Chain A
Amino acid sequence: MITGPALLLALLEGSVGAAVLALTALGLSLVFGVMRVINIAHGEFVMLGAVVAWWCSADLLGAHPLLGFLVALAVAPLIVGAIALAADWLVLRRISYDPERTIVATMGLLYIIQQGVLMSYGPDARPLDPPIYFRVQFPGFGYSGYKLIVAGLALLLLAATWLLLARTRIGLYMRATRLDSETAQAFGVPVKRVYAIVFALGAMLAALSGVLIAPIRGAHYLMGADPLLLSFIVVIVGGLGNLRGTLLAAACIGIGEGMISVLFSPTLSKIIATLLVAAVLVVRPGGLARGATP
């Protein structure tokens, strides 16, 4: 029997998951929207973020876990962003962002990153100490305060990304390239540099969500598969490249997925989400959201 507190707990878990998922999916959606390429290695950037968080945590620095967490929040996006820039410069630019070849190349990148981490970090799933530990009392159960902070940080980062897109010059460049890259270039937008920055930005958002979930789920070299699958689902349901649709879909799917995970089983929730998308595509091949503009 599902009781009130259980339902509330499931809703909380779902909301925290949705906030982190929105961050991951926004990165994927941004890359697709601006560059028209699919990054299969997106989940590996999440995994790298978590691994860097483990690396920066108390085990290495010997200090308070909060210090390690803050260092990871700063360092992980830099490291992962640099890797993404290198991948853009060494591979994607050389194949002119051809959609099919980019998919194959990022598939290769997925294995290179994943197996590279297996070589250096090892096959174990390693837990992290939560940076802050306190409990928030709800009627019927106590809830980890860290998870609420995760949700808050994810929302802050989403807002920051939104401001970057809406209020800065580089954001303007990104939006212009998204609408029509040739016209943007004709008006003096450095399109190639915008591509590189967008690819790095997408990877950095993924890495940040990896840092945020690391204290909850630990760090493991195969942990990139779930975020990749869920972000794909979100991006399709939200309409390919539609940022607002992505955020809305992330909220719905994240909460639904989280609730079914808590109340029934995590595996079942992913199967249902995947089949739901298949159903959506049968009815609307372009995704649920109308049009492609945000």
Chain B
Amino acid sequence: MRIYALHLAVVAALFAVQFALPAYHYGNVTRIMLYAVFAIGYNILFGYTGLLSLGHALFFAAGAYGAGLTAHWWSFGPVAALGAGVGAALLVSLVTGLIVYRTTGVAFLIVTLMLAQAAFLSTLYFNTVTLGDQGIVLSLPPVELFGAALHLADPAVKYNASLVAFAVALLLSLWLLRSPFGRVLIAIRENEARTRLLGYNTALYRFAALVISGTLSGLAGALYCLLFGYVGSSFASLQYSTLPLLWTLLGGTGVTLGPPLGTAITHYLIDISSGLTSSYMIIVGVALVAITLWFPEGLAGWFRRWRRVRS
């Protein structure tokens, strides 16, 4: 129960802090919470199941394009577009899961990388629909909720919609990973052969983990597209596959609160360095190398060890 209280406290703190944040950080925290949903989704596959994906941009972009294209071409309202985005991500996850059903290890990460790259190239190739690099700028009608009209351009709406998605993703992943299903995922990460020997259909569990992870990532993409009113090819680029890996590694793999923490730190690091140079992605490269060399367990692992030493 203590662990649920801790997670609820984080959500409550994020709700409370919106009344005190200056405008600039208000926007930053909104983005961080959305990206954190993506990171939480990534962590289910990488941190808990032990499958390293280099192509999660595929799912993020599936969500974003599912929402953006239906809203732009078929005039879907924000709620219907969100549903379409999540549905698209679910569909893409299912198909990807079937393709990689038997692959693990090195083959798994190469296939995910390549599928994401194929998706990226497709968004460029079908530019009459997606408008390619330039992307689609959306203008969406307000959402009617309890008689009030919520305008998506309003920063408070963006903040609280992101907070709701973050809370749902965080508590869902916590509940999932403490359930018997989550225990099997962890067992697969630790020793897949032994888990199979115990009678679990590990390929099926891996498939399920991929679908949940991909759909959560797609939820982040769909909301990002709707709240910021834009979707373009860059959403499917390698950068959006690298970032969730960095967020998860920095925060600590296999810890529910690790990836959100890693997301926040990375976001501010990139934010500061992009003011100094246009080659700000070098920060991401240096961070990845530094983590592999000196912090393989991330911040959460470091914190755990520090507590163990103290007690």
A residues neighboring B (CB under 8 Å): 32, 38, 40, 91, 94-95, 99-105, 107-116, 118-119, 123, 225, 229, 232-233, 236, 240, 265, 267-268, 270-271, 274-275, 277-278, 281-282, 285-286
Instruction: Report Cα–Cα, A94/B106, bound state, in Å.
Output: 21
Residue B291 is within 8 A (CB to CB) of chain A in the complex: yes
Residues of A within 8 A of B8 (CB): none
Which of B52, B279, B287, B296 is within 8 Å of A115, CB to CB?
A: B279
Return A46 CB to nearest CB of chain B, in Å.
Answer: 16
Residues of A within 8 A of B282 (CB): 111-112, 115-116, 119
Known: A105-B289, A107-B288, A108-B285. A118 touches B279 (CB 8 A): yes
Binds A, one of B9-17, B97-105, B211-219: B97-105
Residue B179 is within 8 A (CB to CB) of chain A in the complex: no
Chain B 62-106 interface mask (CB, 8 Å, partner A; 1/0): 000000000000000000000000000000000000111111011
Chain B 100-143 interface mask (CB, 8 Å, partner A; 1/0): 11110111011101110110011011000000000000000000
- Cβ of B106 and Cβ of A240 under 8 Å apart? yes
Instruction: Report Cα–Cα, A116/B106, bound state, in Å.
Output: 28
Residue of A nearest to B117 (CB): A229
- Cβ of B292 and Cβ of A236 under 8 Å apart? no
Chain B 230-246 interface mask (CB, 8 Å, partner A; 1/0): 00000000100010010
Residue B293 is within 8 A (CB to CB) of chain A in the complex: yes
Of the four ranges (under 10, 10 to 19, 20 to 34, 35 or more), the interface on chain B belongs to 35 or more
- Cβ of A229 and Cβ of B114 under 8 Å apart? yes
Instruction: Report Cα–Cα, A94/B278, bound state, in Å.
Output: 31
Which of A99, A225, A281 is within 8 Å of B105, CB to CB?
A: A99
- Cβ of B111 and Cβ of A278 under 8 Å apart? yes
B residues neighboring A (CB under 8 Å): 52, 54, 98-103, 105-107, 109-111, 113-115, 117-118, 121-122, 124-125, 238, 242, 245, 249, 277-282, 284-293, 296
Instruction: Report Cα–Cα, A109/B279, bound state, in Å.
Output: 14
Return B194 CB to nearest CB of chain A, in Å.
Answer: 19
Instruction: Report Cα–Cα, A114/B52, bound state, in Å.
Output: 23
- Cβ of B121 and Cβ of A232 under 8 Å apart? no
Known: A100-B52, A281-B100, A281-B103. A114 touches B115 (CB 8 A): no
- Cβ of B292 and Cβ of A104 under 8 Å apart? yes
- Cβ of A103 and Cβ of B52 under 8 Å apart? yes
Return A118 CB to nearest CB of chain B, in Å.
Answer: 5
Residue of B nearest to A272 (CB): B118
The 6 nearest A-B residue pairs measured at CB: A111-B285, A108-B288, A115-B282, A108-B289, A112-B285, A274-B118
- Cβ of A277 and Cβ of B278 under 8 Å apart? no
Instruction: Report Cα–Cα, A32/B110, bound state, in Å.
Output: 13
Residues of A within 8 A of B54 (CB): 40, 103, 107
Instruction: Report Cα–Cα, A99/B51, bound state, in Å.
Output: 12
- Cβ of B245 and Cβ of A104 under 8 Å apart? yes
Given A95-B293, A108-B287, A275-B118, 8 additional A-B pairs, CB 8 A: A111-B281, A115-B279, A119-B277, A236-B110, A240-B106, A270-B117, A270-B121, A285-B107
Residues of A within 8 A of B99 (CB): 278, 281-282
Known: A111-B281, A232-B113, A271-B125. A101 touches B296 (CB 8 A): yes
Residues of B within 8 A of A32 (CB): 106
Instruction: Report Cα–Cα, A232/B55, bound state, in Å.
Output: 14
- Cβ of B293 and Cβ of A115 under 8 Å apart? no
Residues of B within 8 A of A105 (CB): 288-289, 292-293
- Cβ of A109 and Cβ of B289 under 8 Å apart? yes
- Cβ of A111 and Cβ of B288 under 8 Å apart? yes
Residues of B within 8 A of A38 (CB): 106, 109-110
Instruction: Report Cα–Cα, A105/B242, bound state, in Å.
Output: 12
Return B296 CB to nearest CB of chain A, in Å.
Answer: 7
Residues of B within 8 A of A275 (CB): 118
Residues of A within 8 A of B105 (CB): 99
Residues of A within 8 A of B101 (CB): 282
- Cβ of A104 and Cβ of B249 under 8 Å apart? yes
Instruction: Report Cα–Cα, A108/B222, bound state, in Å.
Output: 28
